[in-house]
Chains A and B, each alone.
Chain A
Amino acid sequence: DGGITQSPKYLFRKEGQNVTLSCEQNLNHDAMYWYRQDPGQGLRLIYYSQIVNDFQKGDIAEGYSVSREKKESFPLTVTSAQKNPTAFYLCASRGQGKAVAEAFFGQGTRLTVV
């Protein structure tokens, strides 16, 4: 089955730690995205990537970093510079072209600072 896999489902971070959230897709999509979801705020874009080895900042990139070394993978690192990282993180991918403009989402990772 084609889809997007996020891992882990739950993640706990201590103060001052960096953590990495995994996102893998086998849809052969060029574009991949990371969103942060907080209650009552919808989805906010953190980073996105249109092709391998290239990515752009979204609306709330501070305190986050990404890489795109393979088409299938787009990991997100939440660094210690992110002061309020507790949230639900969603990864998505999207094909290029008019007919496939919809985004497909993973099941999310809930990150909690302890």
Chain B
Amino acid sequence: AQSVTQPDIHITVSEGASLELRCNYSYGATPYLFWYVQSPGQGLQLLLKYFSGDTLVQGIKGFEAEFKRSQSSFNLRKPSVHWSDAAEYFCAVGFSGSARQLTFGSGTQLTVLP
């Protein structure tokens, strides 16, 4: 069965510092990969997605992620974090033709220090 692991439950960074959030997945074939962001009490907003092609994908709000097949990873990065980036971030994996669900990681809570 497919699974998604986000090893970091909580990360704290200073404003202006760089950020990397880790995501690892388990599945035999190439999945579709997503990063979502959730502000408190809100729904999830898509940051970026990877379907195929270039393994470095650009998203909204200055985020990017890199798919590394050899490491089964899809880490999210941002060169300079803003205070408004404080939120919870979810990695998810899905498969073409499978309408059952996206499988979500347990999330990483990001705190940004002034």
Digitize B9-52: 1 where CB-to-A-CB distance is under 8 Å, 0 elsewhere.
10000000000000000000000101010000111111001010
Chain A interface residue number, banded: 20 to 34
A50-B43 CB under 8 A given contacts A42-B104, A43-B90: no
Say if the beta carbon of B57 comes within 8 Å of chain A.
no
Q: Whole-angstrom distance from the CB of A94 to the nearest CB of chain B?
A: 7
Contacting residues, chain A, for B45 (C-beta < 8 A): 105
Q: How far is the CA of A96 from the CA of B36 in the complex (A)?
A: 19
Say if the beta carbon of A2 comes within 8 Å of chain B.
no
Residue from A48, A94, A103, A107 whose CB has the most chain B CB atoms within 10 Å: A103
Q: How far is the CA of A110 from the CA of B42 in the complex (A)?
A: 10
Are A101 and B100 in contact, CB atoms less than 8 angstroms apart? Answer: no
Contacting residues, chain B, for A4 (C-beta < 8 A): 43
Digitize A85-102: 1 where CB-to-B-CB distance is under 8 Å, 0 elsewhere.
000101010101111011
Say if the beta carbon of B99 comes within 8 Å of chain A.
yes
Are B105 and A42 in contact, CB atoms less than 8 angstroms apart? Answer: yes
Q: Main SS of the interface on chain B? A: loop
Are A108 and B43 in contact, CB atoms less than 8 angstroms apart? Answer: yes
Say if the beta carbon of A56 comes within 8 Å of chain B.
yes
Q: Which of B9, B41, B105, B107 contacts A108 (CB 8 A)?
A: B41
Digitize B47-90: 1 where CB-to-A-CB distance is under 8 Å, 0 elsewhere.
00101000000000000000000000000000000000000001
Say if the beta carbon of A33 comes within 8 Å of chain B.
yes
Are B96 and A30 in contact, CB atoms less than 8 angstroms apart? Answer: no
- Complex interface residues of chain A between 17 and 47 (CB less than 8 A to chain B): 30-31, 33, 35, 40-43, 45
Say if the beta carbon of A106 comes within 8 Å of chain B.
yes
Say if the beta carbon of A58 comes within 8 Å of chain B.
yes
Q: Contact residues of A with B, CB < 8 Å?
A: 4, 6, 30-31, 33, 35, 40-43, 45, 48, 50, 56, 58, 88, 90, 92, 94, 96-99, 101-108, 110
